[in-house]
Copies of this chain bind each other. A is one copy, B any other.
Amino acid sequence: MYGLIGRILAVEGRREELVSILLESTGSLPGCHSYIVARCAEHSDGIRVTEIWDGPESHKGSLQIEAVRDAIARARPLIAGFDHRFETEPVGGIGLMAQ
């Protein structure tokens, strides 16, 4: 499995709009075992997204899905930056959806 943990900084005051867009396209993502959108406690414009995929290919593939491309296009103007990005190799636990 392939994991990504990252922080997205929204344009000031636009966090809730961005959270909504990020959650829109989580209906059906092939190869996705977990995709969770959370508000940062330490930054009023920060969002943490944690993702677990079969592998990097599934993650890359998701970026080609039409609904995801559409969401990205609408999200882009609301994004001020990305940081705190970590890659992981998830081993197990609670909340890994079967695929």
| Chain A contacts to B: CB under 8 angstroms | 3, 5, 19, 23, 26, 29, 32-42, 48, 50, 52, 84, 86-97
A93: chain B residues within 8 A (beta carbon):
23, 26, 34-37
Would A39 and B88 count as touching, CB distance under 8 A? yes
Per assembly, the copies of the chain total: 2
Nearest-Cβ distance from residue A76 to partner chain B, whole angstroms:
20
Closest Cβ of chain B to A96, distance in Å, is 7
Closest Cβ of chain B to A26, distance in Å, is: 5
Interface pair A50/B5, CB less than 8 Å apart: yes
Do residues B97 and A36 form an inter-chain contact, with CB atoms below 8 A?
no
Residues of B within 8 A of A19 (CB): 91
Q: Is the CB of A37 within 8 A of B91?
A: yes
Contact among B26, B48, B89, B91 for A23, CB-based, below 8 A: B91
